[in-house]
Chains A and B, each alone.
Chain A
Amino acid sequence: MNISLVTSQDTDLATRAASPLAVRGMTVSYGQTPAIFSVDMTVRAGAMTAIVGPNGAGKSTLLKAALGVIAPLAGSVTVFGEPMADMRDRIAYVPQRASVDWDFPVRVIDVVMMGMYRKLGLLGRIRGQHKALAQECLGRVGMADFAHRQIGQLSGGQQQRVFLARALAQEADIYVLDEPFAGVDAATEKAIIAVLQGLRDAGKTVLAVHHDLATVPDYFDDVLLLNTQVVAAGPVAEAFTEDNLQAAYGGRLTTARADPESVAG
């Protein structure tokens, strides 16, 4: 684990300043059992990192706590060494599709505009340039023709693409995605991964919860294996080993390989 090599506070300070998202000592608990316990995570700038682990390992919990969506029992988060609260503009977030009210009366284009709400403020006028940006983001995920549909009328994969377009509209440096490939069709998965790799190639950082072990080496640069605690973290070539997987999944490894969806969520 990378952090155990750090021995002094100064070195860690430097590590965190260089990292787009660094988490230290994060514990989140629902009731009396921890969902994640004392997790350290240092995301590498300009890389695509996957958070991988068995069902109930706390993957989504780690993301949500890191972004301040849920309150942790203990732990601190920095973005390029600064407190999260001052750096929100640099983070784009794609929540789990299941967490949203899809019957809400809103059109696809309005959903994408939501990504600009921080920039627009409470009452900032929506101008042509904003609409153009929203339309462009929809185009990047292949959804330009759906701008005026009600969001609930789309398929699961299409909804996920709209969510990604909304994140693109945030024009952030770090893209954090919670299960972006859960329950989407193969075409959507391809489209999303192409967009994410494009972001990475443009120097952005991508962090995603992922459940399909087979595609980890193809899609991602770094991996963090989680099972309540961090089991291993680092470049895929070093951390994504058979031993580490065994340590993270235990008896569930075979199932996880055969049926990735069974460990989603």
Chain B
Amino acid sequence: MLADALLLQLGYNATLVTIGAALLGIASGVAGTFLFLRKRALVSDAISHATLPGVGLAFVVMVAMGGEGRSLFGLLLGAGLSAAFGLLCVQWLTDRTRLGEDAAIGAVLSVFFGFGIVILTVIQTMNAGRQAGLEGFLLGSTAGMLRSDAILLAVSAALVLALVVILRRPLGLAAFDPGYAEATGWSLPRIDLAMMGIVLVVTVVGLKVVGLILIVALLIVPPVTARSWTERSDHVVIIAGVVGGVSGYVGAASSATAPALPTGPIVVLVGFAIFLFSLLFSPRRGVLASLLTHLRYQRRVHVRQGLLALAQGQPIYEVLTRRLLERAGLVLPDGVPTPAGQAAASKALLDETRWAIVRGDQAYALAATRYDGLTPIEDVLTPDQLTEVDGKIDAPQVVA
């Protein structure tokens, strides 16, 4: 069944929804990257929670106008309007009061959501039975969707993706280099407005798929994951798009296999699994790689400091330093250096002396920037330069 779903063999509706979810995932991964790089990731959480009163009010209005109240388009329109109002509130609280953006986000999301719940309970008493389906907006449900809804979803997801692709230049500029963006005549507030508009559209389109509580994950997890793999901003965008697309595709497809399987949680968990793998095992920024590098670095620092102390006849206070030197066969257990230790110590001292000269001499300004206390000077200077440096060492001044 799951294999069928992943291969789009579950019928026309499910296929449409799955493709739509994948397109939406790509769009949100890309849009989320810009949001993440502007350090405003959680604004999307306020936006998504702020859709709830809109959904409820739209239903009430549609019923009052004699409709059935279940038109997906109408509900999403209401969601968009109230989300926009929520976004305005966040902006106003941040700009006009002393509250930070985090407090503004938290206040808006909880108050709008609370008000949305009030409206939902009103609807429950108003027309028992007819409101079925609004809960689907909390956690997302794509199973048993109407054909027209599936088409609406796929088309709007494609439109959002197109919008993101069209606006990628100014958005990228604002995210990666806001100073340059302004210098070249872009208006940052206007780009930010466009970015928030896209986030808002992604959220609204994603409501039925992922649900308003979890849609924020679709915007945050992909860029955070992509960040583990690359330092290059253009690559972050692409990887985030792929992660988002895969999450949406797998989530929607597997949700179609069983009616009780809410789409949102699966989409989020697929994305989270990719994130976790990246966090732990990515070769450059991964936890495992960083841990190994840090331990190696700490050991090198201690050995180097120990050697310098030996060379200058200073006592070594730290246990770790002594243990490392001992294990490397550089000192004996009583703290006396071995011949190998003596050789290494004088080499380290010579290295430091040479570095001191290089760093004090403007002629070597470029080489001096590579000083980190550990790099042997031979790696930085040519043999000719070394000879020149050595010429400046006059014996009595040999200090660290």
**Footprint of B on A, CB under 8 Å?**
1, 3-4, 6-9, 12, 24-25, 27, 29, 32-34, 37-38, 73-76, 103, 227-231, 246-248, 250-251
Contact = CB atoms under 8 A, between A and B. Distances in A.
Report which residue of B293, B305, B313, B318 has the largest number of chain A beta carbons within 10 angstroms of its beta carbon: B305
A229 B317 contact: no
A179 to B, nearest CB: 23
B332 to A, nearest CB: 17
A4 B373 contact: no
Interface in B288-338: 293, 297-298, 301-302, 304-305, 308-309, 312-318, 320-321
23 contacts: A4-B312, A4-B314, A8-B315, A9-B315, A25-B318, A25-B321, A32-B372, A34-B301, A34-B372, A37-B301, A38-B304, A38-B400, A73-B298, A73-B301, A74-B301, A103-B98, A227-B359, A229-B400, A230-B400, A231-B356, A246-B360, A250-B359, A251-B365
Contacts of A24: 317
Nearest to B362: A251
B135 interface: no
Contacts of B128: none
A27 B372 contact: no
A104 B372 CA distance: 38
B317 A33 contact: no
Given A27-B301, A73-B301, A38 B372 contact: no
A7 B310 CA distance: 10
Nearest to B365: A251
B118 to A, nearest CB: 32
B314 to A, nearest CB: 7
B305 A74 contact: yes
A34 B297 CA distance: 10
A17 B198 CA distance: 65
Contacts of A25: 305, 309, 316-318, 321
B93 interface: no
A224 B304 CA distance: 23
B305 A38 contact: yes
Contact of A247 (B98, B297, B314, B360): B360
B371 interface: yes
Contacts of B373: 27, 34, 37-38, 228-229
A250 B362 contact: yes
Nearest to B302: A74
B361 interface: yes
B188 interface: no
A74 B309 CA distance: 13
A242 B228 CA distance: 47
Contacts of B368: 250
A247 B318 contact: no
Contacts of B316: 25
B260 interface: no
Contacts of A12: 314-315
Given A9-B315, A25-B305, A34-B373, A1 B399 contact: yes
Contacts of A230: 400
A32 B297 contact: yes
A1 B353 CA distance: 13
Contacts of A33: 372
A3 B298 CA distance: 24
B195 to A, nearest CB: 27
Contacts of A4: 312, 314, 399-400
Interface string B368-391: 100111000000000000000000
Contacts of B360: 231, 246-248, 250
Contacts of B293: 32
Contacts of A9: 315
A124 B400 CA distance: 49
A33 B301 CA distance: 11
Report which residue of B298, B302, B321, B359 has the largest number of chain A beta carbons within 10 angstroms of its beta carbon: B359
Contacts of B400: 1, 4, 38, 229-230
B318 A74 contact: yes
Contacts of B318: 25, 74-76
A246 B362 CA distance: 9
Contacts of B356: 229, 231, 247
A251 B308 CA distance: 27
B232 to A, nearest CB: 19
Nearest to B298: A73
A101 to B, nearest CB: 10
A6 B361 contact: no
B303 to A, nearest CB: 10
Interface in B344-364: 356, 359-362
